[in-house]
């Protein structure tokens, strides 16, 4: 049953019982509501911004370890950055060309004492208090690999065999949604390969296979589909069409919210020389480096597991539990 789009994708009438103290809901409770009911996610008052329970985190951490095990033999260099990056790097990265609508900048109060008094008065009056908030040198990380490129570029030319990095970070995207799979702050695990076009494409092929095996071993129904990034506006339509026409991005989709619109849990991206050119990353022979990455949406995979195996982790199939927690 787990391999088909099981009844678990339908509103779960049989799970209403655990909210027994509440009145019978007029409509079937959504997957997000059930996650709240169960305490797996915790409301904050903002769509897409949630707390996580210990049980939820135990799955995220198990997935993180699983990805490490699968990639262990490759000897990737592990780097961890906080979920903010230098604004100067962010500006140079080109992110604002494609995704101005998703970016999150960190602003802080930069006024004097009189401004402080006005801020408090505005707060009291329920008026806009942000007049003296100014952009700091920090921008929220939009994808785990964004802080990496300037660091790699600063090291000089790549060695002959290229480089491989292992990253994980909370990432921010401003896209409030009631779909639990579209969080505004979420964790992305990545491997990033830099080198020749052949090296980075071979890396992407390898992870297409590994990622498919990993997810089907977790008992999840999946499909690999060509994809495009959510570029902004009409110009974005063109970028998206180009990305698809060149087969630069694939996603591993699992039905979580619905069968019609499955959720991208992994993505496999070939950037060509985009980041190499942007950051001046050179191969050993001096030509511009190509890059590729595989990204794992740790919360999304967790949610896919909860959707397909149920909200009680102890009741998950033994082989799935063994793979994650064994």
Partner 1 sequence: MVEISDIRDVLKSLESLKGVVDTLSDDDDLFEKGLDSFGSVQLMLALEERFDIEFPDSALGRRSFSTIRIIRDTVAGLRQQEAA
Residues that bind partner 1 (CB under 8 A): 94, 97, 234-235, 237-239, 241-243, 245-246
- Least separation in angstroms between residue 188's CB and partner 1 is 23
- Least separation in angstroms between residue 239's CB and partner 1 is 6
- Least separation in angstroms between residue 260's CB and partner 1 is 21
Looking from the CA of 90 toward its CB, the CA atoms found within 13 Å total 24
- Least separation in angstroms between residue 324's CB and partner 1 is 39
- Find all residues with CB under 8 Å of 144, minimum gap 6, and list them: 81, 167, 168, 169, 171, 188, 189, 190, 295
- Least separation in angstroms between residue 283's CB and partner 1 is 19
* Closer by beta carbon to partner 1, 181 or else 243: 243
- Least separation in angstroms between residue 235's CB and partner 1 is 4
In residues, how long is the chain? 326
Please write down the long-range contacts of 132-136, taking CB distance under 8 Å and 24 or more positions apart: 133/107, 133/108, 133/109, 134/107, 134/108, 134/110, 135/87, 135/105, 135/106, 135/107, 136/87, 136/105, 136/106, 136/107, 136/108
* Closer by beta carbon to partner 1, 120 or else 238: 238
Contact predicate 199/161, CB 8 Å: yes
**Residue 156, burial from CB neighbour count under 10 angstroms (0-12, 13-18, 19+):** exposed
The one-character DSSP state at 250 is E
d(CA 43, CA 271): 36
Tokens matching residue 193: 């390969």
* Closer by beta carbon to partner 1, 81 or else 232: 232
| Ordered strands of the 105-109 beta sheet | 84-86, 133-140, 105-109
* Closer by beta carbon to partner 1, 281 or else 304: 281
* Closer by beta carbon to partner 1, 97 or else 155: 97
* Closer by beta carbon to partner 1, 93 or else 169: 93
- Least separation in angstroms between residue 36's CB and partner 1 is 38
């Amino acid at each position: 049953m787990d391999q088909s789009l099981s009844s678990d994708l339908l509103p779960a009438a049989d799970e209403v019982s655990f909210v027994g103290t509440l009145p019978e809901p007029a409509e079937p409770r959504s997957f997000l509501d059930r996650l709240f009911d169960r305490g797996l996610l915790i409301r904050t008052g903002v769509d897409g911004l949630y707390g996580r329970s210990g049980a939820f985190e135990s799955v995220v951490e198990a997935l993180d370890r699983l990805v490490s095990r699968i990639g262990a033999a490759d000897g990737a260099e592990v780097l961890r950055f906080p979920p903010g990056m230098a604004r100067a790097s962010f500006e140079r990265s080109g992110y604002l060309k494609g995704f101005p609508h998703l970016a999150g900048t960190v602003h802080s109060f930069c006024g004097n004492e009189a401004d402080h008094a006005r801020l408090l008065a505005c707060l009291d009056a329920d008026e806009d208090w942000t007049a003296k908030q100014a952009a700091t040198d920090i921008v929220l990380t939009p994808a785990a690999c964004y802080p990496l490129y300037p660091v790699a570029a600063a090291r000089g030319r790549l060695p002959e065999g290229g480089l491989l990095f292992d990253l994980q970070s909370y990432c921010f995207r401003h896209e409030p949604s009631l779909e639990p799979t579209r969080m505004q702050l979420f964790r992305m695990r990545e491997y990033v390969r830099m080198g020749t076009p052949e090296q980075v494409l071979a890396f992407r092929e390898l992870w297409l296979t590994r990622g498919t095996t990993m997810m089907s071993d977790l008992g999840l129904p999946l499909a690999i589909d060509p994809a495009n990034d959510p570029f902004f506006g009409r110009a974005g339509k063109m970028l998206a069409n180009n990305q698809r026409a060149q087969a630069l991005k694939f996603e591993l989709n699992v039905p979580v919210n619905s069968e019609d619109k499955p959720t991208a849990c992994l993505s496999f991206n070939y950037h060509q020389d985009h980041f190499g050119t942007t950051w001046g990353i050179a191969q050993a022979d001096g030509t511009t480096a190509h890059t590729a990455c595989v990204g794992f949406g740790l919360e999304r995979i967790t949610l896919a597991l909860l959707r397909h195996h149920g909200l009680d982790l102890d009741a998950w199939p033994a082989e799935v539990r063994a793979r994650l927690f064994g």
